[in-house]
Amino acid sequence: MFGRFSNAFGPSGFEEEVVRVIAEYCQKYELSTDAMCNLYVNMQTCPTQKPVIQLDAHTDECGFMVQTIHDNGCLGILMLGGIVLSNLPAHSVIIRTRKGKKVRGIITSKPIHFMNEKERASQELNIESLYVDIGATSRQEAEEIFGVSVGDPIIPDVTFSYDEEQGICFGKAFDNRAGCACIVDTMEQLYDERNQLAVHVTGAFASQEEVGMRGASVTAQIIKPDLAIVFEGSPSDDFFFRVTQTQGKMKGGVQIRRMDNSYISNPRFIEFAEKLADRYGIRYQEAVRRGGSTNAGKISLTGKAVPVLVLGVLCRYVHSHYNFCAREDLEAASRLAAEVIRGLDRDVINHICGHNILKHDF
């Protein structure tokens, strides 16, 4: 399932293929979509007065759009999401034309033979100096033979694989197809007991997170959750910091995020989740992020405010062509989410939502 999610074509604003693949695994639930290509999955179909918990993950991946077609047939591009430019030259990409044809291209890289000394020494790049070469020799050929048009979406050209012996996944778009897989797995774990739960569970697969958390602005308004769990394909830091400073180690368990640029977490929700993790032996690690953001930033400000628990699956090299993550971290994230939902009752929800703040010393 995760492999199919990863392989699906879905840069920001063009998530339809991802939504269709996810929907294949959710046929026993009530499904709906909206004009932004958000997918809603209701686990319980009967009307209920129960509090609502929203499970969130975004479907879009970092990619590109054709901005112009030059006379020589090369494509000028702009970015959809934040990508480090130095990661791009000489990598292959896939362009989807308006007729649905997928065309392979290469992001241009000037051969060293043609560089002067200044160019060889400089590492400076800008998006205006990077092009996609599809093998065309003219604008007319690019448009009429290859079928490429201005506005066509582009993604990294990477195919998923799984090393069963090591439990390691390789592919693209783990931010945030990992989270999408966790929603489906969490709901699967809870399905047989769905009517006994104290909450109504709705999965929300949100579009356009990488360009400003736009989809979640809509899903939270539609669902009107009382609580939310946001799954994220979080960047691992274990190759960049000392062991004692690492807060996002692959194979270190689910990451519980306390803060990033979009959100300061609800401490009561985290306390509840970590008690359950300790009880059931679910490995976790805490993170306070100097940068980055998730849909929690939008969801938490909906209505009268929503407590949000952000659970990360640690992925190496997110926002680049190639990613690694561990199956055990995926399973830790979805298992913790399932145990949190099972553990919710009226008293716990009132505590997390702050209804008792004036009565208790926290």
Q: Known catalytic residues?
A: 209
Number of helices followed by number of strands (H, E) in the chain? 10, 18
Residue 232 belongs to what H/E stretch? Answer: strand 227-235
**Distance between CA 303 and CA 299 in Å, rounded?**
9
Going by C-alpha positions, the residue among 97, 189, 203, 186 that lies closest to residue 142 is: 97
**Distance between CA 164 and CA 166 in Å, rounded?**
6
The β-bridge partners of 133 are: 106
The tokens for 52 are: 């609502």
Question: Which alpha helices (DSSP H) does the chain contain, by range?
Answer: 2-7, 16-24, 117-121, 139-144, 174-190, 214-223, 267-280, 296-299, 327-343, 346-352
SS (HEC) of 85-135:
HHHCCCCEEEEECCCCCEEEEEECCCCHHHCCHHHHHCCCCCHHHCEEECC
Provide the residue count of the chain: 362
CA distances from 327 to 31, 282, 324 (A): 27, 14, 10
The answer to whether 223 and 212 have CB atoms below 8 angstroms apart is no
36's CB contacts (< 8 A; 6+ apart) are: 207, 208, 214, 215, 218
